[in-house]
A and B are shown apart, each in its own frame.
Chain A
């Protein structure tokens, strides 16, 4: 007995092979974030102070803006995937679940976009 849907048989569709996509991307972003958070923590702890000049000079220095953008992007992505699992596990009512998932998507997209925009704005501003 086949478990495939009749329509899938007629259309000759096999598995889409993206069944593990969520799991896989969560691991890949985790793997990339592991060295990045060590870098970020080390950098933040070695800032001389939290003044405007120190912080902006740090962001402008060398590859820091690129690495910081990666932290914001990958952390948003990883957080989005993780929170999706939490929502799906604990909220089973259809409408609230979908609302929360969409809200989470918007919030994480906003976090990524605004964080990278802020980093670029600082990095590309000519030093006054």
Chain B
């Protein structure tokens, strides 16, 4: 058989595969965040259901919502949401043909990271700044 270049699909990274760039890390993180957000949606729905069953059932659920573990989980959900949001806008822009060149894609990747950091930092501050009655 002749030595032909293989598609990088046969070997993702390393010799003969894709060269690492932070853009391909963002790409896989988009999926990771998306799957994480399904669990965030599950949390939202459980919260709504507990409220729909009345004050007593909500009162039983509330300590679970205001504890430190819940605030950490909510912070992670906010990071996943803001990242998936900004990177999703980037994907939608690509779909209409904007910013697909390598330099533009790298620039928008930096913007996604910056936007995620700013929005998450603000939301996490709000999540932890609220008192005992907060989310």
Binding site for B on A (CB under 8 A): 27, 30-31, 34, 37-38, 41, 44-45, 47, 49-52, 55-56, 59, 68, 71-72, 75-76, 79, 82-83, 86, 108, 111, 114-115, 117-119, 121-122
Whether, in the assembled complex, B100 has its beta carbon less than 8 Å from a beta carbon of chain A, the answer is no
* Minimum CB distance partner of B119 in chain A: A41
A-B contact count (CB 8 A): 85
* Minimum CB distance partner of A112 in chain B: B45
Query: Which residues of B, 49-103, contact A by the 8 Å Cβ criterion?
Result: 49, 51-52, 55, 58-59, 62, 65-66, 78, 81, 85, 88-89, 91-92, 95
Main secondary structure of the interface of B (DSSP, over half): helix
Residue from the list A45, A72, A86, A108 in contact with B44, Cβ < 8 A: A72
Given contacts A34-B88, A111-B42, contact A122 B135 (CB under 8 A): no
> Are A37 and B85 neighbours in the complex by a CB distance under 8 Å?
yes
CB distance from B54 to the nearest CB of A (A): 8
Residue from the list A30, A44, A86, A115 in contact with B135, Cβ < 8 A: A44
Whether, in the assembled complex, B134 has its beta carbon less than 8 Å from a beta carbon of chain A, the answer is yes
> Are B38 and A79 neighbours in the complex by a CB distance under 8 Å?
yes
* Minimum CB distance partner of B38 in chain A: A79
Given contacts A34-B88, A79-B38, A122-B52, contact A52 B59 (CB under 8 A): yes
Taken together as a complex, chains A and B put the C-alpha atoms of A121 and B91 apart, in Å, by 36
Given contacts A44-B135, A122-B52, contact A79 B88 (CB under 8 A): no
> Are B59 and A115 neighbours in the complex by a CB distance under 8 Å?
no
Whether, in the assembled complex, B133 has its beta carbon less than 8 Å from a beta carbon of chain A, the answer is yes
Given contacts A117-B52, A122-B51, contact A51 B44 (CB under 8 A): no
Residue from the list A49, A59, A79, A83 in contact with B51, Cβ < 8 A: A59
CB distance from B38 to the nearest CB of A (A): 4
> Are A118 and B135 neighbours in the complex by a CB distance under 8 Å?
no
CB distance from A30 to the nearest CB of B (A): 6
> Are B58 and A52 neighbours in the complex by a CB distance under 8 Å?
yes
